[in-house]
């Protein structure tokens, strides 16, 4: 006969040996005992230490990412530029191949790429021709302005005589001659930079061709590295992120074009030379929100000051302020409001960080990168998602970036996409 276990009095069962030990209560002074030791760690210090090492881990990971991005910048920047260009050209290629049934997707890809290169080349050619044509006028005006400065230096409050003024000019020429070696070295560096830019441009073009032609296949290949249980959600997040990039690229080009045309027309009416190149500078400056407008405005105001005096410079400043108000209160809410919803601080800080880390390319790519990450992370972290099937999210439709848009009758990925 086997012996029976004695049950505790009162009908209660003893503690389960396999159960986890209950959490120790805090002491009156806010400390938590540490395994019976006489040393105790304040609860606030415990929480602060946990937060601190997690922050240090995140900072270390970010430092590694920045280091790798800086090391591979020669490859990374052309690829990112190709992705941005693909967000502009891929919808047109898929539209052509889906509307024109007899046209293969490869031919549609070739048409949009050749057309895009022709437009960019034509714009650059026109800008260079306008700059060369307006340069003699600007030179003569600069010469006249320099003569006025000479007269003001001699007859103004400085009161320099001809001998002193000649001495200042000789010192300037001497310093210029001494820096000829530096100028030659800079010229050789510029030649190397041109070769590097040509190589990066060819890499970007090569990547762009395959992103437009084989973009869906490349995305499906990348999704293989995502665990199966979250693959659909990652697919939806990626599609929405690219759709937001499509909307942002389209909107920023429209806004930049309107800014350039308005400012260029105003500069021409004021009589500022090089109005077309300055309008092109304003166009490209619009791709860097806030900072780009300031830089292009300063250049336009300086050209107006040198060529026409203080009156023209003030008129240019008023013109550019009007253009910026038009962009900020009408164009951006109308075109960009549905594509990106970022706080102004979330625009300025990434641009500043990108400028510090990677210079002009970093400032140019900061806002598109933040837009893509914002929409992708929002889709990943959203608890209830109205879209479950990734096929109901068209990455080529900017409306797909909005979570409330999930109408399969309107927004279905084409079969060849």
- Lowest mean pLDDT, pick from 139-148, 232-241, 264-273, 303-312: 139-148
The answer, yes or no, to whether residue 281 has pLDDT greater than 90, is no
Q: What is the pLDDT of residues 62-103, one digit of tens each?
A: 899 888 888 888 888 889 889 999 988 998 888 888 887 778
DSSP letter string, 96-126: HHHHSTTS-HHHHHHHHHHHHHHHHHHHHHH
Burial class (CB in 10 A: 0-12, 13-18, 19+), 136: exposed
The answer, yes or no, to whether residue 39 has pLDDT greater than 80, is no
SS3 41: strand
Give percent of the chain with pLDDT exceeding 70.
69
Instruction: Output the pLDDT for position 403.
Output: 57
Instruction: Output the pLDDT for position 337.
Output: 61
Give percent of the chain with pLDDT exceeding 90.
10
Q: What is the pLDDT of residues 362-414, one digit of tens each?
A: 778 888 888 888 888 888 776 555 555 777 777 877 777 765 554 444 444 44
Check the CA dihedral 377-383-386-391 and report its sign: positive
| CA–CA distance, 23 with 233 (Å, rounded to integer) | 36
| CA–CA distance, 27 with 198 (Å, rounded to integer) | 69
- Lowest mean pLDDT, pick from 53-57, 177-181, 266-270: 177-181
Instruction: Output the pLDDT for position 205.
Output: 92
Q: Where do the domains of the chain lie?
A: 54-179+230-401
What's the rounded mean pLDDT across residues 213-230? 88
Instruction: Output the pLDDT for position 114.
Output: 93
Q: What is the pLDDT of residues 15-38, one digit of tens each?
A: 555 444 444 555 555 555 555 555
- How many CB atoms are closer than 10 A to CB 201? 12
Average pLDDT score, the chain: 75
Which backbone phi and psi does 26 adopt, to 5 degrees? -75, 150
The answer, yes or no, to whether residue 308 has pLDDT greater than 80, is no
Q: What is the pLDDT of residues 229-279, one digit of tens each?
A: 888 888 888 888 898 888 888 888 888 888 888 988 998 898 888 888 888
| CA–CA distance, 401 with 393 (Å, rounded to integer) | 9
Instruction: Output the pLDDT for position 52.
Output: 94
Band (175; pLDDT cuts 50, 70, 90): low
The answer, yes or no, to whether residue 51 has pLDDT greater than 90, is yes
What's the rounded mean pLDDT across residues 340-344? 67
The answer, yes or no, to whether residue 60 has pLDDT greater than 90, is yes
Q: DSSP secondary-structure letter at 158?
A: S
């Amino acid at each position: 006969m086997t012996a029976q276990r004695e049950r505790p009095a009162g009908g209660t069962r003893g503690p389960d040996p396999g159960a986890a030990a209950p959490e120790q209560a805090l002491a009156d002074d806010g400390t938590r005992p540490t395994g019976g030791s006489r040393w105790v760690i304040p609860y606030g210090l415990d929480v602060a230490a946990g937060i601190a090492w997690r922050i240090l881990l995140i900072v270390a990971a970010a430092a590694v990412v920045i280091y790798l991005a800086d090391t591979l910048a020669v490859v990374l920047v052309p690829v990112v530029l190709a992705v941005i260009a693909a967000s502009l050209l891929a919808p047109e290629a898929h539209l052509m191949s889906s509307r024109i049934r007899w046209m293969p997707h490869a031919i549609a890809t070739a048409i949009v790429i050749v057309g895009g290169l022709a437009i960019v080349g034509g714009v650059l050619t026109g800008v260079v021709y306008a700059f060369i044509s307006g340069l003699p006028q600007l030179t003569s005006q600069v010469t006249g302005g320099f003569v006025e400065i000479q007269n003001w230096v001699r007859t103004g409050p400085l009161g320099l005589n001809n001998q002193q003024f000649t001495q200042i000019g000789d010192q300037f020429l001497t310093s210029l001659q001494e820096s000829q070696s530096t100028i030659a070295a800079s010229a050789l560096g510029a030649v190397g930079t041109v070769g590097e830019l040509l190589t990066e441009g060819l890499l970007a073009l090569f990547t762009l061709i395959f992103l437009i032609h084989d973009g869906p296949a490349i995305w499906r290949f990348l999704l293989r590295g995502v665990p199966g249980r979250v693959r659909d959600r990652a697919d939806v997040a990626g599609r929405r992120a690219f759709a937001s990039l499509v909307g942002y690229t389209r909107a920023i080009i429209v806004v930049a074009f309107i800014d350039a045309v308005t400012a260029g027309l105003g500069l021409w009416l004021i009589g500022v030379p090089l109005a077309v190149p300055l309008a092109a500078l304003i166009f490209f400056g619009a791709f860097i929100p806030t900072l780009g407008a300031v830089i292009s405005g300063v250049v336009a105001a300086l050209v107006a000051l040198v060529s026409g005096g203080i009156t023209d410079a003030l008129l240019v400043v008023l013109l550019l302020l009007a253009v910026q108000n038009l962009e900020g209160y009408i164009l951006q809410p109308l075109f960009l409001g549905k594509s990106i919803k970022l706080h102004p601080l979330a625009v300025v800080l990434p641009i500043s960080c990108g400028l510090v880390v990677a210079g002009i390319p970093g400032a140019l790519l900061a806002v598109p990168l933040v837009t893509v990450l914002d929409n992708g992370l929002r889709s990943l972290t959203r608890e209830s998602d109205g879209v479950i099937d990734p096929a109901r999210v068209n990455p080529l439709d900017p409306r797909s970036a909005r979570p409330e848009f999930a109408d399969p009758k309107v927004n279905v990925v084409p079969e060849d996409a």
